[in-house]
Amino acid sequence: MATLGPSAGLTRPAPASYTPDTGADPTAPAPKSKRMTERVDPKKLIKGGLHDWEVVIGMEIHAQVTSRSKLFSGASTAFGGEPNDHVSLVDAAMPGMLPVINEECVAQAVRTGLGLKAKINHRSVFDRKNYFYPDLPQGYQISQYKDPIVGEGEVLVDLPDGESITVGIERLHLEQDAGKSLHDQDPTKSFVDLNRSGVALMEIVSRPDLRSSEEAKAYVTKLRTILRYLGTCDGDMEKGSLRADVNVSVRKPGEPFGTRCEIKNVNSIRFIGQAIEVEARRQIAILEDGGRIDQETRLFDPGKGETRSMRSKEEAHDYRYFPDPDLLPLEFDQAYVDALAAGLPELPDAKKARFIKDFGLSAYDAGVLVAERASADYFEAVARGRDGKAAANWVINELFGRLNKEGRSIEDTPVSAEQLGGIVDLIGEGVISGKIAKDLFEIVWSEGGDPREIVEARGMKQVTDTGAIEAAVDAIIAANPDKVEQAKAKPTLLGWFVGQTMKATGGKANPAAVNALLKDKLGIE
């Protein structure tokens, strides 16, 4: 069993020799960055008035830890409570209140580190990050700085164009969230809601390995997928469970990194892409006009499509970090880490590789299916014991297409995996054609029921009697002698005859049989 300190009542003074180093700088030169020496991709350069420019992006993702209680108190983390309803004396920073570590939050951070293929540090330290803000009752934030719980890792990111990149992870540390200031409740007053104060966050800091807004969006999407698979963060950006601070700088290709600006608290993947594009072009315009970039924190206004200055960018020494005297170093052994690793689920990259190998799927289809754990589980239930490619086609094209059209999620689908599997079975057995299957899918979607029973009850079986099909083909040929001559000269007109035959048979004729008969009777190879 791991020994987890800190614990309440154990104190120690900050050693005089403790001096924070330069810390994790998402856009500072990083010798181990996997993209420092790569050839510049011309497709990802931004054209300016005078030069081509390369954008350099580093990200700090704040992910709310999935836990029923806060990082240092037993107060609830439930979303949507009445203002200041989920606040303990610790969260409100009442005098004499001491923090007590939540072991589940520690376990969630370690699980996340393992999912990021990162180094797990058996010893980490909680520090006080000192700054004033109305919704920060203590006047400091308990965070980790010099000695985080998770060190270097990496995330494999698949891009829309088929390229894959590896984004380095600098660190992951635990910290408590601040409260929320409300400025729209009264024309002359601001209000403070401390429900969020003390909620556990994982700050995941990337290396400056991203080179376009598309890469940044794909990275956040993949990271959110990993967190959801692990169950360590729900990734709900609308509720603020996942927020991004985006560090952006520009440079001429091959030159050193430029001065970065941090875009604070971007809460949607679409806005992340927009903010990067806007900020990169703002910086390019300044540089090409002979100006210089001031290092600062900025906010993105999606309504106006611009970033605006918030404050000059603080450095580490501005926060006066020092070890929290109320918290001993957090220590655990390898057995604790191994026990957590043993309970991890199959993660997206491993699942994708298995789907490609076991079901014969393309990398693209496998990637679509594993993007959400619920979608992957649904597909696997449909594909079990069936043609994997056929199952993937129905899940991706028919089911996902209909869900997207109606704005529903896979958890809310009216067609169960068993029902969709039944439709795939009927196609494979030749009982119904692809066209009939689509009609059957609509019935199951709207009315429910067993697909096989529906086919029997409504007479939806496809016609496989070649005699009946041949009679329909002969009638169409006899009625269209001009089309027959045209088809002999232009074989692509065969499709017209197929369509007429299917229409004549109510869409029930076996398409393969129709094609074979028409080719034979029209003399088309």
Residues 488-506: tens digit of each pLDDT: 767 777 778 778 877 777 7
Residue 227 pLDDT more than 70? Answer: yes
Residue 3 pLDDT more than 80? Answer: no
183 secondary structure, DSSP code? -
Query: Whole-number mean pLDDT of the chain?
Result: 88
SS3 label, residue 142: strand
SS3 label, residue 308: strand
pLDDT digits (tens, 9 = 90+) for 429-466: 888 888 889 999 999 999 999 999 999 998 888 766 56
Residue 218 pLDDT more than 90? Answer: yes
Domain boundaries in the chain? 42-341, 348-458, 466-522
CA dihedral 391, 395, 397, 398 (to 10 degrees): 110
Q: Which of 18-32, 107-121, 161-175, 304-318 has the lowest average pLDDT?
A: 18-32
Residue 178 pLDDT more than 60? Answer: yes
Task: Give me the mean pLDDT over the 227-233 stretch.
Answer: 98
**pLDDT given at position 313:** 66
Backbone phi, then psi, for 488, in 5-degree steps?
Answer: -65, -35
Helix axes 481-489, 494-504, angle to 10 degrees: 140
**pLDDT given at position 475:** 82
User: Which residues are CB-contacts of 373 (< 8 A; sequence separation ≥ 6)?
Assistant: 228, 229, 345
Specify whether the CB–CB gap between 261 and 376 falls below 8 A: no
Residue 91 pLDDT more than 60? Answer: yes
Pick the CATH number of 466-522 from 1.10.286, 1.10.10, 1.50.10, 1.20.120: 1.10.10
**pLDDT given at position 162:** 85
328 secondary structure, DSSP code? P
69 secondary structure, DSSP code? B
Strands (E), 230-315: 242-251, 261-266, 296-301, 306-312
Specify whether the CB–CB gap between 125 and 147 falls below 8 A: yes
**pLDDT given at position 314:** 67
pLDDT digits (tens, 9 = 90+) for 187-196: 999 999 999 9
Helix (H) or strand (E) holding 129: strand 127-130
37 secondary structure, DSSP code? S
Q: Comparing C-alpha atoms, which of 513, 510, 518, 516 is closest to residue 475?
A: 518
* Residue predicted with more confidence, 27 or 439: 439
SS3 label, residue 488: helix
**pLDDT given at position 118:** 98
Strands (E), 302-403: 306-312, 322-323, 330-331
**pLDDT given at position 39:** 65
User: Which residues are CB-contacts of 487 (< 8 A; sequence separation ≥ 6)?
Assistant: 493, 494, 496, 497, 522, 524
**pLDDT given at position 320:** 92
Residue 131 pLDDT more than 60? Answer: yes
Strands (E), 252-327: 261-266, 296-301, 306-312, 322-323
pTM for this predicted structure: 0.83
User: Which residues are CB-contacts of 413 (< 8 A; sequence separation ≥ 6)?
Assistant: 378, 399, 403
Task: Give me the mean pLDDT over the 265-279 stretch.
Answer: 96
pLDDT level of residue 17 (50, 70, 90 thresholds): very low
Specify whether the CB–CB gap between 213 and 28 falls below 8 A: no
> For residues 160 and 518, what is the distance between their CA atoms, to the nearest angstrom?
41
Task: Give me the mean pLDDT over the 138-148 stretch.
Answer: 95
Residue 193 falls in which region: left (phi positive, over 0), alpha (psi -120 to 50) or beta? beta
Residue 21 pLDDT more than 70? Answer: no
Task: Give me the mean pLDDT over the 10-35 stretch.
Answer: 40
Longest dimension (CA), the chain: 101
**pLDDT given at position 466:** 67
Specify whether the CB–CB gap between 232 and 118 falls below 8 A: no
CA dihedral 346, 350, 353, 356 (to 10 degrees): 10
**pLDDT given at position 503:** 78
Residue 176 pLDDT more than 90? Answer: yes
**pLDDT given at position 309:** 93
CA dihedral 3, 6, 11, 16 (to 10 degrees): 100
